[in-house]
Amino acid sequence: MALLVNAGLVSADIKPYISTQADYNTECKTCPRSLCPNQLYYAGEEAFNVTCWTRGTKIMGDTLWLKSEAGCYVTQYDVLEYPGDYTTNLDYCGPESEEQDLTVEDATLKYKTECRICPEISCDTVAYLKENTDVELTCWYPEGQVIIDDPYWLKTTNNCYVAQKNLYSKPDITYLDPCGPIPFLEIELHHNANGTSDVNKRAPAPVPATLGTQYLINVTVGEEYAYCRSCPKESCSSKKRYEFNQEIWLQCLTLSNDTWWSETTDFCYVKDSDLWQSPSGDYYNNPLCEKFEGGAPDPDEDGRRR
């Protein structure tokens, strides 16, 4: 009889659910892994119930994830601190809950690309990827920041998003899952400690830019002719000649001999002084080309770091 009483006391500790709320914007995923698509998301201070616990991608040092009453998973780090212990107060979701089932498609970047934590240019940069970098796409999102004329962004196994416009060709999204709804996220609150591929990783900028980066930016030629050169120097050979008021697209900025140059989508360099707009001025904050090289260039060859 004593054994039956003890068993009853143990089961009484298990709750059918625990009420909580999101501490920050948080994604509720189809599995407890960073690369899994979102089923929905909870905004900061939004209340919901969690019904069981499981293990998944380590977020800010924490591998515990919680299953929402909606049937999707949120990292424990993103909800208010619980005074008890989820692992003793809730049932374990089961070993199948820890599985990751992804759709994956290979692609190659056509341009220098900032891979962002969410599909907007105001979102933090996770990785700087060079042109011709091979990436693995996991899902697609149709309502991101419009780049030139395309609002589609794709999530990569770097756990960040690239604009479809930056790929050599559009992927066949019939083979990929939709990413689901995506909230605004910040790296400092949602650092992914493991669980994603290290392939093609680049170090993010150590300090956020004062102005939101704009990429790819659209400018027009302000001189009768603007020569696009093979390197950011007047002595370099001309690869193209742009005409007055011609529309061109810029990838990044570099400083050479106290002169700002911009690399265009034709992979040549045009002087900023030949343009109507000033990419290095107050209206834009285009990324530095050196960011895509994994380090600072030789100042004797490519100019000084900004």
3-state SS of 118-179? CCCCCCCEEEEECCCCEEEEEEEECCCCCECCECCEEEECCCCEEEHHHECCCCCHHHCEEC
Angle (CA) 43 48 50, round 5° = 125
Over pLDDT 90: what percentage of the chain? 56
Model confidence at 207, pLDDT cuts 50, 70, 90, reads very low
What is the chain's mean pLDDT, rounded? 83
Model confidence at 177, pLDDT cuts 50, 70, 90, reads very high
Look at 2-6, 67-71, 298-302 and tell me which has the smallest mean pLDDT: 298-302
Say if CB 176 and CB 20 are below 8 A apart: no
**247-254 average pLDDT score:** 90
Decide if pLDDT at 265 tops 80: yes
> Could you tell me the domains of the chain?
2-98 (2.30.30), 105-178 (2.30.30), 217-302 (2.30.30)
Say if CB 122 and CB 223 are below 8 A apart: no
Say if CB 152 and CB 106 are below 8 A apart: no
Identify the pLDDT of residue 12. 56
Identify the pLDDT of residue 54. 95
pTM: 0.73
Query: How confident is the model over 74-124, as pLDDT tens digits?
Result: 999 999 999 999 999 999 999 999 988 889 999 999 999 999 999 998 899
Identify the pLDDT of residue 198. 39
